[in-house]
Amino acid sequence: MIWVDTIVQGILLGGLYALFAAGLSLVFGVMRLVNLAHGDLIVLGAFLILVLVTALGLNPFIAAAVALPVMFGLGWLLQYHVLNRTLGDDILPPLLVTFGLSIVIQNALLESFSADSRRIPAGALETASISLGPIAVGVMPLLTFVSAVGVILGLNLLFYRTELGRAFRATSDDAVTAGLMGVDPKRLFATATGLAMIVVTIAALYLGTRSNFDPTIGPARLIYAFEAVIIGGLGSFWGTLAGGIIIGVAQTLGAAINPEWQILAGHVAFLVVLLARPRGLFPRATD
Amino acid sequence: MSAGARSSWTVQTRTRAATVFAVVAVIILAVAIAAPLFVSRGTLQDLFFILTMLVLAQNWNLLAGYAGLVSVGQQAFVGFGAYAMFACVSLWGLDPVSAILVGGIAAALLSIATGFFVFRLYGAYFAIGTWVVAEVVRLVLAQWRALGGGTGTSLPNTAIRDFGPVEWISDAFGVRSSQAADILTYWLALVLVCATIGFIYWLLRSRQGLGLAAVRDNQEAARSVGVDARRIKWIVYVAVAFATGLAGALIYVQKARISPDAAFSVIDWTAYVIFIVVIGGIGTLEGPIVGVIVFFILQKTLADFGSWYLLVLGLIGIAVMLFAPKGLWGLFSDRTGIQFFPVRRILKGGPTFDKPGTRGGPHG
């Protein structure tokens, strides 16, 4: 029974990792950009929600809703004015600029909030749990997982059922031709990063309410997100969810054997998949 | 064109600036070798820091700037080389200099093992893949109880103090053994810098280097004329890991204290190194030299401002990448045409009816 419990907790944890990964997957899918500051942007979002909760006394969910447009705008401006300049055949500029951005965000947060561990207070929800048959499941982990499924569902609908999604896919396939059809790739990329930041804010809400965070934990979140995307296969949102779940389950199983092995087990699962299925479990894109 | 006319062409890479620079470089080197005679111990430690960062920067530059392998996981090789050296000295009683060599070899072996994973990823994914590998190596070594596990350990004092060359320097210079150890590590760093720059310069001027530049500029075209891109990238990846491991082991002989978080720090061994190369000028041998000097001056100036320092460094790095992607050296070199380490092959001579002059692109 303990193993079933461990695996269920792992699946729910996987929901959090899928939320980390969905934004990364979205941006990569549209413009082949890997944002090395992705993890730090999640932490930035968590601090923004924390400030709204403590300064205005808002409920964390309301605070996240307030943060959403702010983060969307930030992502839009970041893409339009900075990251768009780095896109091209050469992979160095986007990598090095986003790496620099990661260092800048971390140190700006350190300067503003110190290195102390923080947590977004969520009241009674923090400890609430419900029984699913023989096992008890925390309400927050369950909410995280449901949100992850919702986000993935939403992104799929957006990509395959809307005009914006069609423009995303067209630009992803061939930006020049899409431009001839009246799509402005620069604005479209800015919109995509804005949307990714909405997902980032949702991820930040659960990151901040479920565990402690400090300005330096961003890179580790980036790595989990990246592993989930690669395991799932590039370009597949459902694959990203599956990848997140695999990392989550590997981590809780590793931790059940030896608490020091939690993080290591997740990385090892990633390396095994990379060795056995280099293109991931559900690949869609070819690069 | 007749055979006689063709034979009068010559290909050369030498320029006047480079010849002048070579003379200046020899003088600088001579002064640098003699430095322990006339500089303070603090200055010597600063020089050691500059030299070792330069080794790491030159290696990362070869990897990212020439081979197109953008790694953010080079701390794996710094840390692994350092840990291998620590194990050799404190567990198996080897002398520090042999242990540094073992550190380099261990890092090279690690790169062969990890290469099978990271070479399955391309571009940006290669970058994060190398980071994952570095994290795995850090987490595994943090389990090594004999070397202090997660909290780390120190080198035994006697290992350095009773080492022959340290005793010799101590007697010859009339200094205490801790200072003698600093002199020895400084000289080793100097050797490592010269060997690294010499090796990279030789590589770039060789056939392999031409292939490397061709692969970087257009991998498909290079492969179509018979360049084995995969093999060249493997060779560079392993050679860079070896040199990075040597540097890591040397740095930790001087520090004499190790912990997983410090030895595998992405900030210390990769972020700083990337900023040095980017600010100085990626894809040139001169760039990292300029970059490490700027980096050191910035660090000394902003040392009292804590995280502001990294913040400023990050902003400068972003600005350079966006507005002057060839770095400070690129700005200078583009305006003056001066290259201290010319790798451009210049076609000279030839038939008299053709205007003699320079031909060929930047790499051949």
The answer to whether residue B13 scores a pLDDT higher than 90 is no
Give A110's contacts in chain B (Cβ within 8 Å). 306-307
Distances A61 to A41, A205, B201 between C-alpha atoms, Å: 18, 8, 58
pLDDT score for A54: 93
Is A267 in the B-facing interface, judged by CB distances under 8 Å? yes
Residue B352 pLDDT level (bands cut at 50, 70, 90): low
* Average pLDDT rounded to a whole number, residues B327-351: 81
What is the CATH number for B116?
1.10.3470
Residue B174 pLDDT level (bands cut at 50, 70, 90): confident
Comparing CB atoms, the residue among A100, A222, A275 nearest residue B317 is: A100
Q: Report the residue of chain B nearest A33, measured CA to CA.
A: B124
CB burial of B82-111 (b: ≥16 within 10 Å; e: otherwise) equals bbbbbbbbbeeebbbbebbbbbbbbbbbbb
Is A97 in the B-facing interface, judged by CB distances under 8 Å? yes
Give the best residue of B128, B135, B145 to mutate against chain A (max A CB count within 10 A).
B128
pLDDT score for A53: 95
Give A220's contacts in chain B (Cβ within 8 Å). 135
**How far is A193 from A260, CA to CA, in rounded Å?**
35
Residue B213 pLDDT level (bands cut at 50, 70, 90): confident
- Residue A165 CB neighbours (<10 A): 16
Is A89 in the B-facing interface, judged by CB distances under 8 Å? no
Question: In this structure, is residue B97 part of a structural domain?
Answer: yes
Distances A120 to A13, A66, A197, A200 between C-alpha atoms, Å: 18, 15, 19, 16
Is B250 in the A-facing interface, judged by CB distances under 8 Å? no
- Residue B291 CB neighbours (<10 A): 29
Distance from CA of A36 to the nearest CA of B (A): 8
Q: Report the residue of chain A nearest B217, measured CA to CA.
A: A90
Comparing CB atoms, the residue among A33, A226, A264 nearest residue B128 is: A226
> Hey, are the CB atoms on B321 and A97 less than 8 Å from each other?
yes
Non-local CB neighbours of B59 within 8 Å, separated by 6+ positions: B74, B196, B240, B243, B244, B247
Q: Report the residue of chain B nearest A82, measured CA to CA.
A: B322
Q: Report the residue of chain B nearest A215, measured CA to CA.
A: B307
> Hey, are the CB atoms on A96 and B308 less than 8 Å from each other?
no
* Average pLDDT rounded to a whole number, residues B256-273: 93
CB B308 within 8 A of CB A103: no
State phi, psi for B349 to the nearest 5 degrees: 80, -140
Question: In this structure, is residue B232 part of a structural domain?
Answer: yes
Condensed to tens digits (0 to 9), the pLDDT of residues A188-197 reads 999 999 999 9
Distance from CA of B216 to the nearest CA of A (A): 10
Condensed to tens digits (0 to 9), the pLDDT of residues A136-157 reads 888 999 999 999 999 999 999 9
Q: Report the residue of chain A nearest B305, measured CA to CA.
A: A111
> Hey, are the CB atoms on B128 and A34 less than 8 Å from each other?
yes
Is B236 in the A-facing interface, judged by CB distances under 8 Å? no
Question: In this structure, is residue B51 part of a structural domain?
Answer: yes
The pTM assigned to this predicted structure is 0.89
What is the SS3 assignment for B184? helix
> Hey, are the CB atoms on B124 and A275 less than 8 Å from each other?
no
Is A257 in the B-facing interface, judged by CB distances under 8 Å? no
Give A93's contacts in chain B (Cβ within 8 Å). 321-322, 325
pLDDT score for B364: 41
Comparing CB atoms, the residue among B313, B314, B321 nearest residue A93 is: B321
CB B185 within 8 A of CB B82: no
Question: In this structure, is residue B148 part of a structural domain?
Answer: yes
Give the residue numbers spanning the domain of B235. Answer: 3-348
Question: In this structure, is residue B355 part of a structural domain?
Answer: no
Comparing CB atoms, the residue among B124, B132, B311 nearest residue A111 is: B311
pLDDT score for B6: 52
The answer to whether residue B12 scores a pLDDT higher than 90 is no
Is B135 in the A-facing interface, judged by CB distances under 8 Å? yes
* Average pLDDT rounded to a whole number, residues A262-285: 87
Q: In angstroms, how far is CA B3 from the centroid of its own chain?
A: 43
Condensed to tens digits (0 to 9), the pLDDT of residues B112-149 reads 999 988 998 887 789 889 999 999 999 999 988 888 88
Give the best residue of B125, B276, B309 to mutate against chain A (max A CB count within 10 A).
B125
Comparing CB atoms, the residue among A92, A102, A264 nearest residue B140 is: A264
Question: In this structure, is residue B358 part of a structural domain?
Answer: no
* Average pLDDT rounded to a whole number, residues A115-143: 87
> Hey, are the CB atoms on B139 and A287 less than 8 Å from each other?
no
Mean pLDDT estimate for chain A: 91
Q: Report the residue of chain A nearest B137, measured CA to CA.
A: A264
Distances B96 to A27, B108, B169, B184, B249 between C-alpha atoms, Å: 48, 18, 15, 11, 9
> Hey, are the CB atoms on B271 and A103 less than 8 Å from each other?
yes
Question: In this structure, is residue B77 part of a structural domain?
Answer: yes
Number of domains in chain B: 1
Question: In this structure, is residue B130 part of a structural domain?
Answer: yes
First to last CA, chain A: 41
ipTM: 0.89
> Hey, are the CB atoms on A111 and B275 less than 8 Å from each other?
no
pLDDT score for B350: 64
Is A93 in the B-facing interface, judged by CB distances under 8 Å? yes
Q: Which of B58, B60, B99, B54 is nearest to B77 (CA)?
A: B60
> Hey, are the CB atoms on B314 and A107 less than 8 Å from each other?
yes
Residue A132 pLDDT level (bands cut at 50, 70, 90): confident
Condensed to tens digits (0 to 9), the pLDDT of residues B57-113 reads 999 999 998 988 999 999 999 999 999 999 999 999 889 999 999 999 999 999 999
Give the pair of three-digit tokens for residue A268.
């090892």
- At B315, the amino acid letter reads L
Give the best residue of A28, A90, A96 to mutate against chain B (max B CB count within 10 A).
A96
Q: Which residues pair with B153 in a beta bridge?
A: B258
Q: What is the share, in percent, of chain B residues with pLDDT greater than 90?
A: 52
- Residue A19 CB neighbours (<10 A): 30
Give the pair of three-digit tokens for residue A238.
């459902």
* Average pLDDT rounded to a whole number, residues B33-39: 89
Give A36's contacts in chain B (Cβ within 8 Å). 72, 124, 127-128
> Hey, are the CB atoms on B136 and A222 less than 8 Å from each other?
no
Q: Report the residue of chain B nearest A35, measured CA to CA.
A: B124
The answer to whether residue B4 scores a pLDDT higher than 50 is no
